[in-house]
Protein backbone atom coordinates (compact mmCIF):
# COMPACT_ATOMS: atom_id res chain seq x y z
CA UNK A 1 0.00 0.00 0.00
CA UNK A 2 1.25 3.46 -0.88
CA UNK A 3 1.73 6.23 1.64
CA UNK A 4 0.73 9.43 -0.20
CA UNK A 5 1.13 12.86 1.39
CA UNK A 6 0.08 16.30 0.18
CA UNK A 7 2.26 19.03 1.70
CA UNK A 8 1.03 22.59 1.98
CA UNK A 9 -0.38 25.15 4.38
CA UNK A 10 -3.98 24.56 3.33
CA UNK A 11 -4.19 26.83 0.29
CA UNK A 12 -6.64 26.25 -2.55
CA UNK A 13 -3.97 24.60 -4.72
CA UNK A 14 -3.18 22.17 -1.91
CA UNK A 15 -6.87 21.25 -1.64
CA UNK A 16 -7.09 20.82 -5.44
CA UNK A 17 -4.07 18.53 -5.44
CA UNK A 18 -5.51 16.44 -2.62
CA UNK A 19 -8.82 16.08 -4.49
CA UNK A 20 -7.05 15.13 -7.74
CA UNK A 21 -4.96 12.51 -5.93
CA UNK A 22 -8.08 10.99 -4.31
CA UNK A 23 -9.83 10.83 -7.69
CA UNK A 24 -6.80 9.28 -9.41
CA UNK A 25 -6.36 6.65 -6.71
CA UNK A 26 -10.03 5.66 -7.00
CA UNK A 27 -9.92 5.65 -10.80
CA UNK A 28 -6.81 3.47 -10.85
CA UNK A 29 -7.94 1.20 -8.02
CA UNK A 30 -4.73 1.77 -6.06
CA UNK A 31 -4.82 1.28 -2.29
CA UNK A 32 -3.12 4.10 -0.43
CA UNK A 33 -3.23 6.14 2.72
CA UNK A 34 -3.58 9.83 1.92
CA UNK A 35 -2.55 12.39 4.51
CA UNK A 36 -1.80 16.10 4.58
CA UNK A 37 1.27 17.83 5.97
CA UNK A 38 0.34 21.38 7.00
CA UNK A 39 3.00 22.25 9.59
CA UNK A 40 5.71 24.42 8.01
CA UNK A 41 8.54 22.68 9.86
CA UNK A 42 7.25 19.26 8.80
CA UNK A 43 6.87 20.45 5.20
CA UNK A 44 10.48 21.69 5.18
CA UNK A 45 11.71 18.50 6.84
CA UNK A 46 9.97 16.42 4.15
CA UNK A 47 12.10 18.07 1.46
CA UNK A 48 9.31 20.08 -0.15
CA UNK A 49 10.60 23.55 -1.01
CA UNK A 50 7.52 24.82 -2.90
CA UNK A 51 3.90 23.96 -2.18
CA UNK A 52 1.80 22.17 -3.04
CA UNK A 53 4.04 19.17 -2.65
CA UNK A 54 3.32 15.52 -3.31
CA UNK A 55 5.21 12.74 -1.58
CA UNK A 56 4.87 9.04 -2.15
CA UNK A 57 6.42 6.71 0.43
CA UNK A 58 8.42 9.65 1.77
CA UNK A 59 9.88 10.69 -1.60
CA UNK A 60 9.05 14.09 -3.13
CA UNK A 61 7.56 13.42 -6.59
CA UNK A 62 6.11 16.86 -7.33
CA UNK A 63 6.31 20.34 -5.86
CA UNK A 64 5.21 23.85 -6.71
CA UNK A 65 2.47 22.77 -9.13
CA UNK A 66 -0.55 20.57 -9.62
CA UNK A 67 0.34 17.78 -12.06
CA UNK A 68 -2.13 17.18 -14.89
CA UNK A 69 -4.24 14.00 -14.69
CA UNK A 70 -2.03 11.96 -17.04
CA UNK A 71 1.15 12.85 -15.16
CA UNK A 72 -0.46 12.17 -11.80
CA UNK A 73 -1.71 8.77 -12.96
CA UNK A 74 1.74 7.90 -14.32
CA UNK A 75 3.37 8.84 -11.00
CA UNK A 76 0.89 6.76 -9.01
CA UNK A 77 1.12 3.75 -11.32
CA UNK A 78 4.91 3.73 -11.22
CA UNK A 79 4.93 4.05 -7.43
CA UNK A 80 2.46 1.19 -7.01
CA UNK A 81 4.24 -1.05 -9.49
CA UNK A 82 1.19 -1.40 -11.73
Give me the mean pLDDT over the 54-69 stretch: 97
pLDDT higher than threshold 80 for residue 62: yes
pLDDT higher than threshold 80 for residue 74: yes
Segment 2-60, tens digit of pLDDT:
999 999 998 999 999 999 999 999 999 999 999 999 999 999 999 999 999 999 999 99
Domain ranges of the chain: 2-80
The CATH class that applies to domain 2-80 reads alpha beta
How many CB atoms within 10 Å of residue 62?
Answer: 20
Mind telling me the catalytic residues?
11, 14
Rounded distance between C-alpha atoms, residue 49 and residue 75, angstroms: 19
pTM of the model: 0.94
Spatial contact of 21 and 80, defined as CB atoms under 8 Å apart:
no
pLDDT higher than threshold 80 for residue 82: no
CA distances from 37 to 29, 56, 76, 77, 78 (A): 24, 12, 19, 22, 23
Predicted local distance difference test score (pLDDT) of residue 45: 96
Rounded distance between C-alpha atoms, residue 73 and residue 79, angstroms: 10
Amino acid sequence: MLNVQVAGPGCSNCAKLEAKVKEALLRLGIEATLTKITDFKAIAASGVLMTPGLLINGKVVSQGKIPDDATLEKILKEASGS
